[in-house]
Amino acid sequence: MEVSKKPFTFTLKNDFNMTGFLLKAKPDEAFRTKTELSKELVRTNTTSNVKLKDNIDLTQEDVEKLIEAGRKTLIYYEANNRLDAYNYPDEFELLDLVVKY
């Protein structure tokens, strides 16, 4: 993912509780994808009211627009068990949630 803003990046443990984490982190947008080179990202939260041309599978450009608009966004990379977080005000608060779940 190549966006102008630098994300907070976390490596997740194998038994990471993504559902509990998403409920506490309250992202505006959450996506999952296989690798960093994937062109499509799959929306994993259903609370977003942002309507784009396709509301489930989004292109990298659409996700970049959401990030640039200031939306709290999480992207989970399945291949390397990594989570990128954009537009969160406190990295350490988010780190506490990652460690907890």
pTM of the predicted protein model = 0.83
The low-confidence residues of the chain, meaning pLDDT below 70, are: 1-5, 46-55
Helix residue ranges, H only, 2-90: 18-25, 60-68
**What sign has the CA pseudo-torsion 6, 33, 70, 27?**
negative
The pLDDT assigned to 98 comes to 92
The pLDDT assigned to 48 comes to 52
The pLDDT assigned to 36 comes to 86
Radius of gyration over every alpha carbon of the chain, rounded to an integer in angstroms: 13
The ranges assigned to domains in the chain are: 8-100
The pLDDT assigned to 37 comes to 85
